[in-house]
Chain A
Amino acid sequence: SQQGEEDPQALSIQEGENATMNCSYKTSINNLQWYRQNSGRGLVHLILIRSNEREKHSGRLRVTLDTSKKSSSLLITASRAADTASYFCATDEIRGSTLGRLYFGRGTQLTVWP
């Protein structure tokens, strides 16, 4: 069963614009991670935010986490054509003694036009 759900499913913007993707989840989490996937290739880890953190930055990436609303957002500032990819959120769900379960959403397809 999937935990995170990204919104929108697809996003198309011009170079230089900001791109915002959202992720909602259903249960309590230890952390939330964002990954990027270029077409048909392996996922690449972008950033991890823990449940006790509200905001995190890494270069042009800004991630926020609102545990009361069970949601996160990924902001990419000053987008470039090379940012074109699918972006996935993944949640490390708290569920009793079960460890090692990382749930991925279906992803947001971002297209940045030159």
Chain B
Amino acid sequence: EAQVTQNPRYLITVTGKKLTVTCSQNMNHEYMSWYRQDPGLGLRQIYYSMNVEVTDKGDVPEGYKVSRKEKRNFPLILESPSPNQTSLYFCASSLSASGSGGGGQYFGPGTRLTVT
């Protein structure tokens, strides 16, 4: 089954404790992206990757890091989480940039992060 998986699905942590949210896709997609969703603000792009070893900033990259060492994985790293990073996070993948190759972007189920 074609899917994007994220782990963990729920996480409560404390300020400053480094964490990683994993993302993996099994569709051989070149393009992957991370978004955060906050009430009233919609989805905002954090980072995206056009291919292995190629990453770029989205609209809200501050406080986040990513890496793309393998095509299928695109982990999101919070080196020193702060309460303003409490949010719902989505990983997405697609065949081409922005899903323009047809089929759009495939989204993971989301990770609900709370930083106290």
Q: Which residues of A approach B to under 8 Å, CB–CB? A: 1-2, 30-31, 33, 35, 40-46, 48, 88, 90, 92, 99-107
Contacts and interface: CB of A to CB of B under 8 A. Distances in A.
B104 A35 contact: yes
Measured as residues with beta carbon below 8 angstroms from the partner, the interface class of chain B is: 20 to 34
Nearest to B108: A42
B2 interface: no
Given A1-B59, A35-B104, A45-B103, A101 B45 contact: yes
B107 A100 contact: no
Interface of B: 4, 31, 33, 35, 40-45, 48, 50, 56, 58-59, 88, 90, 92, 97-100, 102-110, 112
A101 B58 contact: yes
22 contacts: A30-B100, A31-B98, A33-B104, A41-B109, A41-B110, A42-B109, A43-B92, A48-B99, A48-B104, A88-B43, A90-B98, A92-B98, A99-B97, A99-B98, A100-B33, A100-B50, A101-B98, A102-B33, A102-B99, A102-B105, A104-B35, A106-B41
A101 to B, nearest CB: 7
B107 A42 contact: yes
Nearest to B110: A42
